[in-house]
Chains A and B, each alone.
Chain A
């Protein structure tokens, strides 16, 4: 059990060290160290940066009851406001987005290991923003007049508390929409979905994974164990079955159907499969005849 410092800057350092350790565990990537063995500060506008923000913000929310508002404030909005935090406006937006991803995970769990697992999953499944080129950042407080200022001006990089509130409002709306498009946790095809997700490119949406899973199911691949490989070829996401020739394919560039529509199709497919199985079973059962005298 970690004993956290009551000094905010030391607390921040402690939680960031946890974040780096968790990143190493989940990604398998070895991070740079200081001479004393601690992790060097690293990760800027990339996946590690996104993970650090999601984890630290989530962890601060988890421990906030013991620290009052200090922890969550220190890791949240305050890290973007004022002259100490002069950053590109899209960098501010990326950080605020990933902070909210972490806070949402922390609403479901108080376990740091689970927070780390889900924050890493958010990197893999595209929930987190891992670069300034992400189009979702352009939808956050898009009428901010500073975005029209030339790059390299102080006014463009400086955020106020009110700016942060407006950006956070748009982040919450965007993440709400994304949650509605997420594949349901308790769905009977969840294991198969996770198997495809593990082999799909980072950033592929849940809706795209569900689309290719439906195609695979329709081609006879009916569970996770029946999948031999998941890969991308010429812009298409391909699920190969263990039975040669069985596969599901979806073009990555094409817009996927809405999640609700795909889940309904999956459920219908499963119902039809079950009906067919029942009919086949009945056909195989020995017929009983009664003979009258």
Chain B
């Protein structure tokens, strides 16, 4: 599965979750079309998502123009954090009513160390 395919599906599913609203809380495992056990977020030159599935890591690098996670010191940031498959995640439009980027944030009590 290519980065582009994963990013496209991610975008479609975030858009579907948001519909006309600016923010939604969704089960993290509904954002992909493949199963995984752990998903980690890391800011760098690109936004890096690492999916852990059955001992195999799949790394996807996303464009900040499309997807956004804030600096780690910002309240609710997922930078450096991981989600378990059953966790919920906040997806929101970084700018209300705007077309992008979509931002991922911690849902209350959703993050595993």
Known: A9-B44, A152-B95, A154-B95. A83 touches B73 (CB 8 A): no
Indicate if the CB atoms of B98 and A154 lie closer than 8 Å.
Answer: yes
Contact pick for A41, options B68, B80, B96, CB 8 Å: B80
Indicate if the CB atoms of B95 and A153 lie closer than 8 Å.
Answer: yes
Indicate if the CB atoms of B96 and A152 lie closer than 8 Å.
Answer: yes
Chain A residues, Cβ within 8 Å of B45: 84
Known: A34-B113, A82-B64. A44 touches B74 (CB 8 A): yes
Q: In the complex, A86 Cα to B67 Cα: how many Å?
A: 12
Sort chain B's interface into a size bin: 20 to 34
Which chain B residue lies CB-closest to A52?
Answer: B73
B61 to chain A, nearest CB (A): 12
Indicate if the CB atoms of B72 and A41 lie closer than 8 Å.
Answer: yes
Report A52-83 CB contacts with B as 1/0, cut-off 8 Å: 10000000000000000000000000000011
Indicate if the CB atoms of A35 and B113 lie closer than 8 Å.
Answer: yes
Chain B residues, Cβ within 8 Å of A160: none
A7 to chain B, nearest CB (A): 10
Interface membership of A42, Cβ < 8 A: yes
Interface membership of A188, Cβ < 8 A: no
Interface membership of B52, Cβ < 8 A: no
Contact pick for A86, options B44, B47, B68, CB 8 Å: B68
Q: In the complex, A110 Cα to B101 Cα: how many Å?
A: 41
Interface residues of B (CB under 8 A from A): 42-45, 47, 63-65, 68, 71-75, 77, 79-80, 94-96, 98, 101, 113
Could you list some 17 contacts between A and B, CB below 8 A?
Answer: A40-B72, A41-B72, A41-B73, A41-B77, A41-B79, A41-B80, A42-B73, A44-B73, A82-B64, A83-B63, A83-B65, A84-B45, A86-B64, A152-B96, A153-B95, A154-B94, A154-B98
